[in-house]
Structure 1
Amino acid sequence: MIVITIDQNAIEERLLPSLSPSTWWENFIPKKVNVFMWKFRLDRLLLRINLATRGINVASIQCHVCNNQLESMDHLFFVCETANNLWSRIKVWIDIDMPSCSSWYDWWQWFENIDQRHRKKEKIYAIGTATLWLLWRFL
């Protein structure tokens, strides 16, 4: 009989690098939102541009909200007028100086560099992920 032992930590370190924001999991966020954010960070959402690049026939790869640009992740969640208006309202609501971001990378860089206590930073992250989740559900 052959016994195979699996080192769970070795597997996780190889497949899920701990410093990668694409695998960041937060306990204070609902599981479905964590899964959404995981797919979001890896750019694996079922957007028209992603479907088309995988060979799936889609009628149009233009944004179905504004019909002005390609339906990419950055456009749909940050640049599109609907998303931009929502982010503007969120900034006013939470009363924080957040720049206009044109991509997830821009938002993440801003978030990583803000000087806030841990608890407040958690709240800002939760509001940011909830905003992205609601945009996804709405769009």
Structure 2
Amino acid sequence: MIGRAVQNNKLKVSKLYNLLLHRDKVQYAFVIWCNLSVPKHRFILWQATLRHLLTRDNLLKCQLCLPSVLCPICELHQESHDHLFFQCKFSQLLRSKVAAWLGCAIWPVHLNDWVDWMVGKPKCLQQKLLATGLAAAVYFIWWNRYNCIFNLCSVSVNAVFALLQNCLKARLENLHRFKLKRKDVAFLEKVHFL
């Protein structure tokens, strides 16, 4: 392996580092690291995809004593990644609003299903907007959870949806600088971005 990191009889540390850490790129990387998404949304989506966010079920695995294991948003079921992002009534309502707004007829009901659904899709503007919408939805669900725990109040689905819309519109403000395809302009007009 070290031999592959040598160039012109010199060891290239960066090349060795990349060889040591070489991992195959996951198929859903485009969804998570979409350049239209806000960086903090990307990070939360990445952590959620890996199921590394500190939901109450994960905290219990660390043997932490918690006052409640229930979802802080709905307070009906035990909090887990699947419940928080896909089974909680708040999440379902937000996802349906985002899906309808972005013209997505089918929005799968589990994060891995959604990411798998995006794999192999062309990286056109609509797909990038769907990826950005997913990242923003996951982020704002996590943000509302945090708000419920530390501020003891939940923000309404409509208010969160308005925040999400404004965030996506702000990310697309500079698109007019680029030459857009006719179908992209038609899609942006359809979802009221233009």
Shift in alpha-carbon separation, 1:11–1:27, aligned structure 2, 3 A: farther
- Alignment correspondent of 1:112: 119
Helix, strand or coil for the counterpart of 1:13?
coil
Unaligned runs of 5+ in 2: 1-10, 146-194
8 A Cα contact 1:49 1:70, kept in partner: yes
What is the count of residue pairs matched by the alignment? Answer: 133
Question: Does residue 124 in structure 1 map to residue 130 in structure 2?
Answer: yes
Residue number among 55, 61, 64 corresponding to 1:53 in the alignment: 61
Distance 1:99 1:33, change over 3 A: closer
CA distance in 2, matches of 1:55, 1:45: 16
Identity, % of aligned pairs? 23
Match of 1:79 in 2: 87
Q: Distance in 2 between matches of 1:69 and 1:22?
A: 31
| Aligned equivalent of 1:8 | 17
Cα-to-partner distance string for 1:79-117 (whole Å, 9 max, x where unaligned): 11010011111122112212451x21122122226x555
CA contact (8 A) 2:34 2:132 kept: no
- Measured after TM superposition, the shift of residue 21 of structure 1 is 3.6
2: CA distance, partners of 1:130 / 1:19 = 21
Looking at structure 2, the residues matched to 25 and 110 of structure 1 have their Cα atoms a distance apart, in angstroms, of 16
4+ residue segments displaced more than 2 Å: 3-6, 19-31, 109-113, 115-119
Distance in 2 (CA, whole Å) between partners of 1:117 and 1:32 is 21
Return the alpha-carbon distance in structure 2 between the equivalents of residues 87 and 5 of structure 1.
45
Give the distance between the partners of 1:91 and 1:11, measured in 2 at CA.
40
Distance 2:37 2:26 in 1: 19
Shifted more, 30-39 versus 69-78: the winner is: 30-39
In the alignment, which residue of structure 2 is the partner of 1:95?
A: 103
SS at match of 2:22: helix
Cα distance in 1 for partners of 2:112, 2:50 equals 12
* Greater RCO (Cα-Cα under 8 Å, separation 6 or more): 2
Q: Which runs of 5+ in 1 are unaligned?
A: none
Q: Which moved more, 1:21-30 or 1:35-44?
A: 21-30
Contact 2:33 2:42 in 1 (8 A): yes
Equivalent-residue separation in structure 2 for 1:99 and 1:25 (angstroms): 19
Q: Calculate the TM-score normalised by the size of structure 2.
A: 0.60
User: How far apart, CA to CA, are the structure 1 residues paired with 2:93 and 2:71?
Assistant: 16
> Structure 1 residues 4 and 96, CA, compared in 2 at 3 Å: closer, same or farther?
closer
TM-score, length-normalised on structure 1?
A: 0.80
Q: Distance in 2 between matches of 1:25 and 1:11?
A: 22
